[in-house]
Chains A and B, each alone.
Chain A
Amino acid sequence: MEIIKNILLAAFTSVIVENTIFSRALGTSTLILVARNRKNIFGFGISVTYITAVVSVLTYFAGKIFDLSGDSYIYAPLVYILILGAVYILTLLGLWRFAVTLFVKIRKYIHMSAFNCAVLGAMFIISKYCETFTDYLVNGIGVGLGFVLAVYITAIVYDRIYSEKVPYSFRGFPLMMIYIGILSMAFWGFSGHIANY
């Protein structure tokens, strides 16, 4: 029971409280690109969640093999990129061999779901704060789901943000930033705030 409680708590934290976009801004550029096309959100979401989960697990094992603390920290990006590259290639090869239709469908955006700040950022954050294998896995999945949640919340207002009714100076990107900022403020409330008066 205690394990289930801890897993649910970790999942809630990584999806809502420490949401990759709204609390750390990781992958914001990718979010803006993905939110344009609602058709791809589901596929993109699955692909990001799968990649963050797999690379988080591999980061756990990499941490057991390589000591990336202290001065060796500067080599961590090299190790993480090798892990990410290997997962990316093996996933594409696996899909090409066993699920050609899916391969054709997702190959347009799978590079975006692998090489973005949300995924690499997850590897750095998880390796810094997590200890057990379960922590790595749950948080890896949580980061992916948190990213999907952020993309979905952004995509549902995409047409309004780019509407001709919005004044030209705010239409599109400027309003998108303000919208993400307001959402970020709302999510910030989950982490708790004590007024100093």
Chain B
Amino acid sequence: MEKIPEENSCKNIIFNAVLKKNPILVSGMVIAPAVMTADSFSSAVTLSAAFSLITFFTLLISSFVPKKIVYTIRIIMYAFIGALVYVPSAIALEYFIPDGIEQMGIFFPLLIINSLIVSRSESIFFLETKGKMMLDIIFCIIGYDAAVILFGIIREIIGSGAAGEKIIGMPVVFSAFTEPFGGFILLGAMAALLRVLLAFIKKVRQK
């Protein structure tokens, strides 16, 4: 029987952040940009880059905001730090991926108040030690990015019959999956599949 990792072990933090508590497929966070913009591999990569940059630096800087300040002010400070981080992030990403960023539209600046920054920061990240917090943030971001890229790839294949903008000759194409409602339905199906995978992992571990 495999030893179940301790609550605070590195392995457990990574497993929780990427799979068990995946920010989008389990916790239902930062859904809007994924559903609205990640309809292909390239758009999913753009979203992942924007999300990673803004979330990592905003959470990192926000972790230094003193707890003595009342929550009412702290939450405004987090959002303001997000808006400050957005400026260099927008300049950098517009330089490297101008078309992708233009396609994201308002969903790029909206990342400054994503659920990881507004909700999860206070309830989980800032309660941990700095080292553990960094590890948790990095793997939460990786978990989100991996899920969004997979979501974008599947959506592109079944919605446009293409992979990486190359037509792969799918016999049937369901263009509805490129629409927001198709995104919601696919996200639900992926979340259900992850549940099945997690139940399987649990079963294997118990054996």
Contact = CB atoms under 8 A, between A and B. Distances in A.
A42 interface: no
B183 interface: yes
Which one of A26, A81, A84 has the greatest number of beta carbons of chain B within 10 Å? A81
Nearest to B90: A74
Contacts of A76: 109
A166 B110 CA distance: 34
Interface string A75-92: 111101110110011001
A29 B116 CA distance: 11
Nearest to A32: B28
**Residue among B180, B185, B189, B195 with most chain A CB within 10 A:** B180
Instruction: Determine which residue in A30, A128, A169 has the highest number of CB atoms from chain B within 10 A of its CB, and name it.
Output: A169
Q: Interface SS of chain B: helix, strand, loop or mixed?
A: helix
A26 to B, nearest CB: 5
B118 interface: yes
Interface in B14-34: 26, 28-32
A169 B189 CA distance: 9
Given A32-B28, A75-B87, A177 B187 contact: yes
B109 A173 contact: no
19 contacts: A22-B181, A25-B31, A27-B32, A29-B115, A32-B28, A75-B87, A81-B113, A89-B72, A117-B110, A117-B113, A117-B114, A120-B112, A124-B109, A176-B28, A177-B187, A178-B189, A181-B181, A181-B182, A188-B181
Interface stretch (B43-51, B77-85, B138-146): B77-85
Most central of B30, B32, B84 by chain A CB within 10 Å: B32
B83 A180 contact: no
Contacts of A98: none
A29 B181 contact: no
A139 interface: no
A115 B113 CA distance: 7
A134 interface: no
Contacts of B72: 88-89, 92, 111
Contact of A24 (B32, B87, B109): B32
A85 B80 contact: yes
Contacts of B64: none
Top 6 A-B pairs, shortest CB-CB distance: A181-B184, A177-B188, A181-B185, A184-B181, A178-B188, A85-B76
Contacts, number: 143
Given A25-B35, A84-B79, A89-B72, A182 B185 contact: yes
Given A168-B195, A182-B185, A188-B180, A77 B86 contact: yes
Contacts of B75: 111, 115
B91 interface: yes
A81 B199 contact: no
Given A169-B195, A188-B180, 18 more contacts: A23-B180, A25-B183, A25-B184, A26-B110, A27-B32, A29-B32, A81-B82, A81-B112, A81-B113, A116-B113, A173-B26, A174-B189, A174-B191, A175-B192, A177-B28, A177-B184, A180-B184, A188-B179
Contacts of A185: 176, 179, 181
Given A25-B36, A27-B32, A170 B192 contact: yes
A78 B188 contact: no
